[in-house]
């Protein structure tokens, strides 16, 4: 289990986190297909969603990768988008959420 990515998240998100991650998995498949098709508008939109939601759920890496993907797609260049997409796949596939009580 040494390759797992453990992220501590506020326990208040426990009820909604599984659905959030399910949506990200579905969008990842869309992103992978859009990368194959060089559909920059879809790539940009999906990157934007990651950028806008990741940090809110304690998943800063998704926000960072979403930003990189969106910024590159705006330029209508593939650049490192396939690499960033692979990093998202790895992150989601190896993610373990640990719910913790956070002080207000």
8-62 confidence digits (pLDDT tens): 999 999 999 999 999 999 999 999 999 999 999 999 999 999 999 999 999 999 9
pTM: 0.92
pLDDT of 95 strictly over 90: yes
The chain-wide mean pLDDT, for the chain, equals 95
Find the mean pLDDT for residues 72-91: 97
Alpha-carbon radius of gyration of the chain: 14
Question: The domain 5-99 belongs to what CATH superfamily?
Answer: HPT domain (1.20.120.160)
pLDDT of 87 strictly over 60: yes
Burial (CB count <10 Å: 0-12, 13-18, 19+), residue 85: buried
Q: Give domain limits for the chain.
A: 5-99
């Amino acid at each position: 289990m040494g390759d797992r990515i453990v992220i501590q998240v506020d326990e208040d998100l426990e009820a909604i986190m599984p659905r959030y991650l399910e949506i990200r998995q579905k969008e990842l498949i869309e992103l992978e297909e859009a990368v194959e098709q060089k559909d920059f508008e879809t790539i940009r939109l999906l990157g934007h969603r990651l950028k806008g939601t990741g940090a809110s759920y304690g998943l800063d890496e998704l926000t960072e990768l979403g930003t990189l993907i969106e910024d590159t797609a705006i330029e209508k260049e593939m650049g490192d988008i396939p690499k960033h997409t692979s990093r998202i796949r790895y992150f989601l596939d190896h993610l373990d959420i640990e719910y913790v009580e956070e002080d207000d």
